[in-house]
Chain A
Amino acid sequence: MNWITVSWPMVAAACLTLGLIELHIGLAQRQQRAARFLFALSACAMAAACGLELALIQVDTIAHAEVLLSLLRVTIGVVLAALMAFVWSYFGAGNRWLALAFACLYLIGVVGELMPGPFNSFHTTITGLRTDEVFRGATFTMLDREFSIWYAFPYLATLTMIAFVADASIRLWRRGEHRRALLIGGSITIFLLVAGVQAALVLANKINMPYMLSWCYLAILVAMATDLSADALAATKLAEQLRESERSMDLAGAAADLGMWAWNISDGRIWATARARALFGFSAAETLSMDNFVNALHPDDRELRRRTIERALATGDDYEVEFRVPLAEDRTRWISSRGRFERGAKGELLGIRAVVLDVSARRGAEVELQRLHSQLAHASRVSMMGQLASALAHELSQPLGAILRNTEAAELFLQHDSPDLGELQEILADIRQDNKRAGDVIQRMRALLKRRDFDPRALSLGGVLDNVSRLTRNEAFTRRTQVEFDECIEPWVVMGDSVQLQQVLLNLVINAMDAVDDLPVDRRKVSVRTQHRGAGEIEVAVTDSGPGIAPQSLARLFEPFFTTKPSGLGIGLTISRTIIEAHGGRIWAESGVGEGATVRFTLPLADEAIAS
């Protein structure tokens, strides 16, 4: 036992160790997997070469030596080829011509060396063994050889490889990865140079040393080990930073009452903050999957959420959706969720990251607002109808009066000697008809006075105008005002709530009549005109011949509680605007002092509304 028999195996062990470590990492991580496998191959092959070198040091027959040499040549070939492929993969850069040249040259060298006698006049031979050379106090065997041209090829191949590695390292340097280019590219180049020179010198018998290619490989081992430990340190730091940032996010989330969750596609696992778990009703520790989330939702909302996410997936944007999570005892929690898709370098989907917020309070407030609005609209209608009470009385008087006359006529006819039964039948038919008329009037009034929710359906604008015309006819007569309603020749159909639209038009016509109250009778004029506007809209314009609206009032016309009338409430126009806008239209006023005023509103035609 001498230092040679101890140290060569140690070098082999070092190669194997690092090779196995890289193999392990390559198996566990997808990142740089090919490169790590190739390096492992190179290191393990070098360990084998190390073993062959040791065998050569102790060889004692020429035949044995020849076999060992051939094996060594092939093994080194594997080491170099694997190393070259490793550089190509790890650096992501490589000149394919140099690689090809290397492969060809080395192969020629190996094959030529192995060719049997007659074909090869350049076949090399080992002419002798010197078994008692001493290198640093230990004996080893040196080979005497005749030089052969085939020996040159592996060295040419090595030069080619040096060029390849240098080229790849420079390209990596230019990409900004200085440390890696210098450390790994540099160490491989050193290995190639020193090993190549040492092998050449040993071959030419210029020095008395065993082959020490494996020792040169140590340079690469050190470089790779440094690279690896740098990665490990960076990973630890990143992990710490990650924990730090998770703690910050938790704090931010808690402060804003946000829940956060993330879904990783590759393993299907979901990470969620405590708040997110609480919002969905999950326990603090249970493992979560996407199914848990979907099942926590209200069944009616699952489809909407799925479609929203699909649409966002197609466009690449974030998605935003609100849905219900049913709680115990019939309660419901409204949740607003905003999510973002995480994509890899090649655009592949890695996962989803989302933020969730409890918006039950806001939703509840919206519902409450809607309810209050309905109440207010109703109150406004009722107060308006108070002004038109005479309209009700008038409209009912007609049919009731006719019924009375018909009844009295029947009584008188029956006192005749031979009452005309035909006439009596006509009387009864008329009474029935008038009774229905009276019923219809009451029904229309009841509809206007009832509290109800916004109930849009397809209706004819002409019908709305007719109803309002009928309602205001009486008032117009009483006030000696000329009110003209356009005859709607076209059957314009809009999607809307008949009662609410009547309310708006009533409000505008009454306002217009109020505006002309102080004028002399023959100048009191109100007109209601309709026209078709492009873009599938109808416009209704209520014009009065009054004194007009001053600019400062015009700007505030639709404000709540703004009124120029001493007995006005000031909510009629505000509510009218809310109603028109809920129908998808616009309402505005035009006026000049002394020029009268016109209030216009638009409504979308039903066909367009249905299409959109």
Chain B
Amino acid sequence: MATNSLRKLHVGVVDDDDNLLRSFARFLRAAGMQTTAYSSAEDFLADVRHPRFDCLVLDVQLPGMTGIDLRDQLAAEGDPAPVLFVTAHDDPRAREHAMAGRCLGYFHKTDAGSELLDAIRKSAATLPCEGNL
């Protein structure tokens, strides 16, 4: 796996499931990235001193503000960080809503990690949205 291109990328991960959050952050670290993990969209927004993220991995179903709403808010604020969605369920409406805006990909939590890494690798360029569901 070509992890060199992923070095030095700073990724933010938001998921309300602690175990999943930890495993995701660990995986991204193993791939050579730097990660910051948040349990909710509110925590993310509250962290005003966060560095510039090269990419965001957001869980769709979050308590309070959802991942998709967070993406919309960031877009409204002009935050350029590309967003990658992960979800645990197959709701076609949520998928549509996600794809309606800017997104790197819409993945299921049980999809292979290599696919997520590929999507992140392309994050440098602004590509049309790739869905995987």
Contact = CB atoms under 8 A, between A and B. Distances in A.
Interface of A: 390, 393-394, 397-406, 408-413, 415, 423, 427, 430, 433-434, 437, 474, 477-478
A412 B112 CA distance: 13
A398 B89 contact: no
Contacts, number: 85
A406 B110 contact: no
Nearest to A415: B1
A478 B89 CA distance: 9
A433 B19 contact: yes
B30 interface: yes
Interface of B: 1, 3, 17, 19-20, 22-24, 26-27, 29-31, 61, 66, 86, 88-91, 93-94, 108-110, 112-114
Given A412-B3, A412-B30, A400 B23 contact: no
Nearest to A410: B30
Contact of A397 (B93, B110, B114): B110
Nearest to A431: B23
A430 B88 contact: no
The A interface, classified by DSSP as helix, strand, loop or mixed, is helix
B10 to A, nearest CB: 18
B88 A405 contact: no
A164 B110 CA distance: 114
B113 to A, nearest CB: 4
Nearest to A391: B89
A289 B3 CA distance: 96
A469 to B, nearest CB: 12
A398 B61 contact: no
Contact of B89 (A397, A399, A405): A397
28 contacts: A393-B90, A394-B61, A394-B88, A397-B110, A398-B19, A398-B109, A402-B17, A402-B19, A402-B20, A402-B23, A404-B110, A404-B113, A405-B24, A406-B26, A408-B112, A408-B114, A409-B23, A409-B27, A409-B30, A411-B30, A427-B26, A430-B19, A434-B19, A474-B89, A477-B61, A477-B91, A478-B91, A478-B93
Contacts of B22: 402, 430
Nearest to A390: B89
Give the interface centre of B30, B110, B113 by most chain A CB atoms within 10 Å.
B30
Given A402-B20, A404-B112, A412-B31, 13 more contacts: A390-B90, A397-B109, A397-B110, A400-B110, A401-B20, A401-B109, A408-B112, A409-B26, A409-B30, A412-B3, A412-B27, A412-B30, A478-B93
B27 A399 contact: no
Contacts of A402: 17, 19-20, 22-24
A412 B4 CA distance: 13
B113 A405 contact: yes
A406 B27 contact: yes
A401 B24 CA distance: 9
A406 B23 CA distance: 5
Contacts of B90: 390, 393
